Amino acid sequence: MIGDLVALLGAGVGGLGGLGGVGGLGGGTVAGLGGPVGGQLINLSPHLPILPIVVPLVAAAIMLLLDERVRNAKAIIGSLTTLALVIVSLMLVRTITGQGADGVAQVLVYRLGDWAAPFGIVLVVDRLAALMVLVTSVLGFAAFLYSLARWAIVGPRFHSLFLLLLMGLNGAFLTGDLFNLYVFFEVLLAASYGLLLHASGRARVRAGLQYIAINLASSMVFLIGVGLMYSVTGTLNMADLAAKAATLGAGDLALYKAGFAILVVAFLTKAGMWPLSFWLPTAYSAASPPAAAIFAVMTKVGVYVTLRMLMLASGSGDATGIVELISPWLLVGGIATIVYGSVGVLSSRELPRLAAYSTLISSGTLLAAFGTADERVIGASLYYLVASTLAVGAAFLLAEPIARRKEVEAVQVVEPVFGDDFETNLRSEFEGYEVGVVIPASTALLGGAFVVCALVLIGLPPLAGFVAKLGIMSGVLAHETAVSALSWVLVSVMVFSSLAMLLAFVRKGIEAFWLTGEETTAEVGSLEAIPIGLLLAICMAITLAAGPSMRYIDLTSAELTAPTVYSEAVLGEQQ
């Protein structure tokens, strides 16, 4: 009977899909998808790539119609939407990996309005895009649940803004058209301005002013780059750009390379590469916790797009010379970012600032790894991307419950943590105590989560951060010919950043949990604890399941370094 219901549902949805397809009303056809994908229930599967964009958009629109005081309905709609996003992204990953079990890469291409590329806009789902959408959905789900505890109602329209940010993120990861990328960048930036300013206040508005100004300027740079690239090739489709660029004459090629470099500057501003990163710590540490957690994925958009454009340009043996032009800058800039982030981490006294500088360190590591243009290194760095993004999100979410335990004065008195008073106080306080001091559950949970989060970010065994950093370092050093000096610099800078984060996190942990003083037992609700636990559990899970994860990621990097699969899927018959 269930089977009949399922079949009925499938037939109904299929009928709707057919209507849509015939009418051409936003119908899409999929190239490269063949065979059943697990039964009649998933008749939605031809439209799977558009769902991560459309579902949060519709939900956000519905929520805008509801009055501000209607909180429960918004909470329920939002939770269901973010949960649906997680499920859809899991289905995308399953679709990508399920077919092509023989290792042949499969790429889902979704044509908007059924216009053929390169004239129409396409959504392209390959392994990397599916992975990024999955990370976004998981982090979005966790941050949204966390916000329902207390942060969502502090300011107006939080739920809608959050879902629109998720829509922008998913769109930026899935699109295959450069100007469509600009539009989704603006969608996610506009939502992020609202989220940064959420729960107002002097510090936030000051940070917001600078954040908006720098992002508007980088959008202008983006447009200049896109304009230059369009003017010489006549197309905006990413795959077609790479194909046409290989056939350009010398003068046009120079303009194209200039446009490409200008474009990459805009992405690197978003990613937080060193000279362009001074806005990041202020803005991210000022944001409210759930907003800051989802901002951790926003830096990764810049990193992702840089990688995508670079890998597409490397097709046909880097005929345009772009990879040769850009990679050294990425390597050097990434190293500088790691150093800047490490120094910043040592200078931070509060956890949000610590987490913001950790974001910079993870961005820098990723950019430097992409700058080596080595397939193994790129694979390990994608694993690092997943682990560090989830851990940074958890760190932002942890910051506020930890700060709740202590009364913080308005002016931070800079005291040495390892002062002499510490030991004598400890001894006198514990004299005469009975064995077994009761630790409140909330403190234990927060402390445990802090330790796990710190371990992943620092890169200490046995968690995912260590596996990832080890992978990157061994990939960088395992070169067939001589290892360059810059590679040695990269490895030593990565070790230095781990040391700096170790010092900073240990100091913060001691200050937050071990020092006795004026503290209250923080009340940590389950809505706050569960998302943090979920993010850290996933970090641990990808360590335990490191085999399957690395297999997926190795196939991802193999697919990236052989971009003909992407181009053929998008441009298809015209090739």
Partner 1 sequence: MELVMAIGIGVVAASGVWLMLRPRTFQVIIGLSMLTYAVNMFLLSMGRLRIGDAPVLESTTGIDPAAFSDPVPQSLVLTSIVISFSMTALFLVVLLAARGLTGTDHVDGEEVNA
Please calculate the CA angle 229-257-309 and round it to the nearest 5 degrees: 70
Q: What residues have CB less than 8 Å from 471, skipping those under 6 apart? A: 376, 379, 380, 381, 383, 384, 550
Q: Name the minimum Å distance from CB 223 to partner 1.
A: 5
21 belongs to the binding site for partner 1 (CB under 8 A): no
Residue closer to partner 1, measured from CB, 179 or 329: 179
Q: Name the minimum Å distance from CB 216 to partner 1.
A: 5
Which residue carries 């918004």 as its tokens?
74
Question: By CB under 8 A, what part of segment 471-490 binds partner 1?
Answer: none
x/- map, 169-208, partner 1, by CB under 8 A: ----------x--xx--x---x--x---x--xxx--xx-x
Question: By CB under 8 A, what part of segment 258-317 binds partner 1?
Answer: none
Q: Which helix (H) or strand (E) holds 257?
A: helix 250-271
Q: Name the minimum Å distance from CB 164 to partner 1.
A: 14
Amino acid, single-letter form, for residue 535: L
Torsion of CA 124, 126, 132, 138, to 10 degrees: 100
CB 30 within 8 A of CB 108: yes
| CA atoms 224, 228, 230, 231: torsion sign | positive
* DSSP string of 112-169, one letter each residue: GGGPPTTTS-EEEE-HHHHHHHHHHHHHHHHHHHHHHHTGGGSSTTHHHHHHHHHHHH
**Dist. CA 173–CA 167, nearest whole Å:** 10
**Dist. CA 415–CA 411, nearest whole Å:** 12
Residue closer to partner 1, measured from CB, 230 or 496: 230
Residue closer to partner 1, measured from CB, 115 or 488: 115
Q: Name the minimum Å distance from CB 210 to partner 1.
A: 7
Residue closer to partner 1, measured from CB, 200 or 474: 200
Return the axis-axis angle of helices 375-403 and 289-313, rounded to nearest 10°. Answer: 170
x/- map, 105-134, partner 1, by CB under 8 A: ------------------------------
Residue closer to partner 1, measured from CB, 60 or 75: 60
Residue closer to partner 1, measured from CB, 204 or 308: 204
Q: Name the minimum Å distance from CB 242 to partner 1.
A: 18
Residue closer to partner 1, measured from CB, 200 or 526: 200
x/- map, 209-248, partner 1, by CB under 8 A: xx-xx--xx-xx--xx-xxx-xx----x------------
Q: Name the minimum Å distance from CB 457 to partner 1.
A: 30
Question: By CB under 8 A, what part of segment 42-101 binds partner 1?
Answer: none
Cis peptide before 548 (omega within 30 of 0): no
Note the residues at the interface with partner 1 (CB under 8 A): 179, 182-183, 186, 190, 193, 197, 200-202, 205-206, 208-210, 212-213, 216-217, 219-220, 223-224, 226-228, 230-231, 236
